[in-house]
């Protein structure tokens, strides 16, 4: 390998000139003036893949990483599979992402399995596999090489909340506070702790946690957290500090941890962490309390049983209004009156149910004609991201009014998992268009 070209490429990469680095690495690959040693082809392709990731071209990056993996003498297979998983995840191909994250953690020579476990957990959450995601985040938290276990514990708590186990979520969040973390992560953690306390019926503790989160003027509670906060405050004002919380929505957003293995010499460094971050304390005395670490002792079978044991809670369909019979002589007046009444009661064409069914039948196509005109393309893409395709989606209920409506729907993933959504709609002349979509959990309507 032409070491001079390789070093030039690496210097360009380190300076942020990824396009220039890509040209130099490619030139190094094509240079036959110096014989290649064992593993060097894999090393160059690995770095080419890194450049393509930086240039936001994950499809070509995957091809480069696969080329690197085909070099049997190149030993960084774990890092390669982790990066392939990250690239697939950025393309929203979460199934393939999980496959490669699993390959990464199966590599006994991979020194940073927590990265792949975090990526795998996030991908599994996208696929609606909360129990499996919990197992992945648990492994990431237990990896002593993980410089930021708080994020893994926060996401583990999110999984427990989606499994309707707020007490275990509280234990996970409490363990996370034993570690150093960024202010943003601490705010998310306090907010999520508030929602877990609310779901478990501890209104006073919930309000205290929410107050800690909002003490930072730069942090804004998510919509679901804000609802829980308001309900707990109202509960305490009515019944005093010992009152139990009422209906709660369940959980805050998980933390997306992007651990990208970047090529270094002689091994790999972890992009995104400063030298100071890498000196974070390990798991010293973090799990000594028997009550707080019981979820770490739970077997995988127990986690699966918790997931399977979540019975789907029936939702009551709300009355759309009294049926009014209008007796008129003129048929035209009768039809006009019925149309006006239907409009005020939230009926339209197409119906809210039809719009929801079109959304799940083809989420990508839905971006073109089912969303409110006030939403930007970026907003629409963000809203559609968690929606799984299911032509046989179950419409659980519809709340109608003249100008706004809410549809509750449960979709089935390819793996048989159930995901429930709350779909907000606004009036579009005589029909309806989607203004927002969020995941909906049983504790929101208990």
Domains and their CATH numbers in the chain: 331-445 (3.10.450)
Q: Average the pLDDT over 6-10 and give the result.
A: 93
Coil/strand/helix, residue 267: coil
pLDDT of residue 293: 42
- Write the pLDDT tens digit of every residue in 77-105: 999 999 999 999 999 999 999 999 999 99
pLDDT at residue number 341:
63
Distance CA 182, CA 395 (A): 41
In 3D space, the residue among 416, 395, 394, 408 whose CA is nearest the CA of residue 437 turns out to be 408
Strands 418-428 and 404-412: antiparallel
Going from the C-alpha of 372 to that of each of 29, 216, 223, 380, 439, the distances in angstroms are: 50, 33, 19, 9, 19
Give the separation between CA 89 and CA 396, rounded to whole angstroms. 30
Tokens representing residue 350 in the block: 């197409």
Lowest mean pLDDT among 8-22, 195-209, 228-242: 228-242
Residue 238, Cβ density class (10 Å: 0-12 exposed, 13-18 middle, ≥19 buried)? exposed
Mean model confidence pLDDT for the chain: 78
pTM of the predicted protein model? 0.57
Is the pLDDT score of 421 beyond 80?
yes
Q: Kindly report, residue by residue over 228-260, the tens digit of the pLDDT.
A: 899 999 888 876 544 443 444 444 444 545 555
Please give the structure tokens belonging to residue 310: 């979540």
Longest Cα–Cα distance of the chain, Å, equals: 97
Q: Hey, CA dihedral for 27, 32, 34, 38, is it positive or negative? A: positive
Angle at which helix 183-200 crosses helix 166-176, to 10 degrees, equals 150
pLDDT for residue 360 is more than 90: yes
226: enclosing H helix or E strand: helix 223-239
What's the pLDDT tens digit per position in 42-84? 999 999 999 999 999 999 999 999 999 999 999 899 999 999 9
Question: Of how many residues is the chain composed?
Answer: 446
Q: Which of 104, 117, 162 lies closest to 306, judged by CA?
A: 162
Distances (CA, A) of 324 to 5, 335, 398, 418: 82, 13, 20, 38
The stretch 324-342 carries a mean pLDDT of 45
What are 151-185's pLDDT values in tens digits?
899 899 989 988 889 999 999 999 989 888 889 88
- The mean pLDDT of 272-300, rounded to a whole number, is 33
3-class DSSP state for residue 261? Answer: strand
For residue 203, count other CB atoms closer than 10 A to its CB: 28
């Amino acid at each position: 390998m032409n070491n001079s070209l390789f070093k030039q490429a690496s210097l360009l990469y380190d300076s942020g000139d990824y396009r220039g680095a890509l040209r130099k690495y490619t030139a190094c690959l094509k240079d036959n003036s110096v014989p290649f040693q064992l593993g060097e082809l894999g090393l160059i392709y690995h770095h080419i893949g890194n450049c393509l990731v930086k240039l936001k071209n994950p499809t070509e990056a995957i091809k480069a990483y696969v080329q690197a993996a085909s070099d049997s003498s190149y030993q960084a297979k774990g890092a390669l599979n982790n990066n392939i998983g990250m690239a697939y995840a950025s393309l929203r191909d979460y199934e393939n992402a999980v496959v490669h994250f699993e390959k990464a953690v199966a590599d006994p020579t991979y020194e940073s399995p927590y990265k792949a476990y975090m990526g795998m957990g996030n991908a599994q959450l996208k696929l609606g596999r909360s129990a499996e995601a919990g197992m992945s985040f648990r492994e990431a938290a237990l990896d002593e090489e993980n410089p930021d276990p708080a994020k893994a514990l926060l996401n583990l708590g999110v999984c427990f909340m989606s499994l309707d186990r707020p007490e275990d979520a509280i234990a996970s969040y409490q363990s996370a506070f034993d570690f150093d973390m960024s202010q943003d992560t601490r705010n998310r953690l306090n907010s999520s702790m508030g929602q877990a306390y609310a779901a478990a019926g501890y209104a006073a503790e919930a309000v205290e946690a929410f107050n800690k989160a909002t003490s930072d003027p730069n942090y804004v509670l998510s919509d679901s957290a804000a609802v829980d906060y308001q309900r707990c405050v109202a509960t305490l004002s009515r019944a005093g500090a010992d009152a139990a919380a009422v209906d709660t929505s369940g959980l805050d957003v998980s933390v997306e941890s992007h651990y990208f293995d970047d090529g270094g010499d002689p091994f790999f460094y972890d992009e995104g962490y400063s030298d100071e971050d890498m000196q974070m304390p390990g798991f010293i005395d973090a799990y000594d309390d028997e009550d707080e670490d019981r979820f770490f002792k739970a077997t995988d079978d127990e986690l699966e049983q918790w997931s399977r044991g979540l019975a789907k809670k029936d939702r009551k369909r709300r009355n759309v209004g009294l049926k009014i019979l209008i007796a008129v002589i003129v048929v035209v007046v009768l039809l006009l009156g019925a149309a006006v009444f239907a409009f005020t009661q939230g009926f339209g064409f197409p119906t809210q149910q039809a719009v929801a069914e079109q959304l799940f039948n083809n989420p990508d196509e839905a971006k073109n004609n089912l969303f409110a005109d006030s939403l930007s393309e970026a907003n629409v893409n963000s809203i559609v991201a968690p929606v799984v395709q299911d032509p046989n989606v179950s419409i659980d209920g519809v709340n109608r009014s003249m100008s706004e409506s809410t549809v509750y729907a449960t979709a089935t993933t390819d793996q048989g998992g159930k995901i429930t959504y709350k779909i907000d709609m606004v009036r579009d002349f005589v029909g309806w268009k989607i203004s927002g979509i969020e995941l909906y959990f049983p504790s929101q309507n208990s």
